């Protein structure tokens, strides 16, 4: 990598779809905060890099319009990447951006209904994205759905337990398992989103 970044941040597979960078193969995108560094904006960055597994090299790509850390990301069906929420180092964000791997550029999309960081983002079989939990002024149990066709977010069913720093995975039957995290201590509970 060209910039030191922590291993707990975003590493996301980005399909370049055509004769874009790296010969049309797959690349891994990294846009994560520096590890062990004290920087302005609390370590939040706007830069992103692509890793080419075929050559073992990293290359810079377009920068996000908003510096952010502690955000979530999801790959959309059309190959774009949605990055949502997080913090700029002092303010919790509701903003979201889309990365176009063919253009190597970011564009703004609709904002969350409620700002949140330390959340998860999971692409559903219908193409929508579930943003679950996270932290604002308190730990959240609320969830939101992103519609890529309209670029808008809407509230949806809440989890039974507020949680941040959790994990979420799409199961083969199309439900999302949301597990662990923190809410007044480390959690062993889980929720299913249908």
Contact 170/194 with Cβ under 8 angstroms?
A: no
pLDDT digit string, tens, across residues 107-164? 999 999 999 999 999 999 999 999 999 999 999 999 999 999 999 999 999 999 999 9
Contact 132/190 with Cβ under 8 angstroms?
A: no
The DSSP element (H or E) to which 118 belongs, if any, is: none
How confident is the model at residue 18, as a pLDDT? Answer: 25
Provide Rg for the chain, Cα atoms: 16
pLDDT digit string, tens, across residues 5-52? 543 344 444 433 222 233 334 555 554 433 333 333 456 788 888 877
Q: How confident is the model at residue 82 (pLDDT cuts 50, 70, 90)?
A: very high
How many Å separate Cα 164 from the centre of its chain?
Answer: 14
Q: How confident is the model at residue 59 (pLDDT cuts 50, 70, 90)?
A: confident
- What's the pTM? 0.82
Q: Please say whether the structural domain 65-193 has been given the CATH code 2.120.10.80.
A: yes
Q: Which residues contact 143 (CB under 8 A, 6 or more apart)?
A: 130, 131, 132, 133, 155, 156, 157, 158, 159, 193
Contact 178/163 with Cβ under 8 angstroms?
A: yes
How confident is the model at residue 186, as a pLDDT? Answer: 96
Contact 14/29 with Cβ under 8 angstroms?
A: yes
Per the document, the length of the chain is 194
Please indicate whether residue 193 or residue 57 has the higher confidence score (pLDDT): 193
Residue of 60, 112, 114, 117 lying closest to 88 (CA atoms): 117
Residue 148, both tokens = 């890529």
Residue of 193, 131, 186 lying closest to 159 (CA atoms): 193
Residue 22, both tokens = 């790296």
The mean pLDDT of 63-79, rounded to a whole number, is: 91
The DSSP element (H or E) to which 148 belongs, if any, is: none
Residues 174, 180: Cα–Cα separation, whole Å: 20
């Amino acid at each position: 990598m060209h910039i030191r970044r922590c291993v707990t941040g975003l590493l996301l597979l980005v399909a370049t779809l055509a004769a874009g960078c790296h010969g049309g193969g797959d690349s891994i995108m990294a846009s994560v905060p520096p590890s062990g560094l004290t920087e302005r904006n609390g370590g939040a960055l706007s830069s992103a890099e692509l890793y080419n597994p075929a050559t073992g090299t990293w290359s810079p790509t377009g920068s996000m319009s908003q510096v952010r850390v502690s955000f979530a990301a999801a790959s959309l069906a059309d190959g774009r990447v949605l990055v949502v929420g997080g913090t700029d180092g002092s303010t919790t964000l509701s903003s979201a951006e889309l990365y176009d791997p063919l253009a190597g550029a970011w564009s703004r999309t609709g904002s969350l209904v409620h700002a949140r960081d330390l959340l998860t983002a999971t692409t559903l079989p219908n193409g929508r994205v579930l943003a679950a939990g996270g932290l604002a002024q308190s730990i959240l149990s609320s969830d939101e759905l992103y519609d890529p066709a309209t670029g808008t977010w809407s509230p949806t069913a809440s989890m039974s337990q507020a949680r941040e720093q959790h994990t979420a995975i799409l199961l083969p039957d199309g439900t999302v398992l949301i597990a662990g995290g923190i809410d007044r201590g480390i959690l062993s509970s889980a929720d299913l989103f249908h």
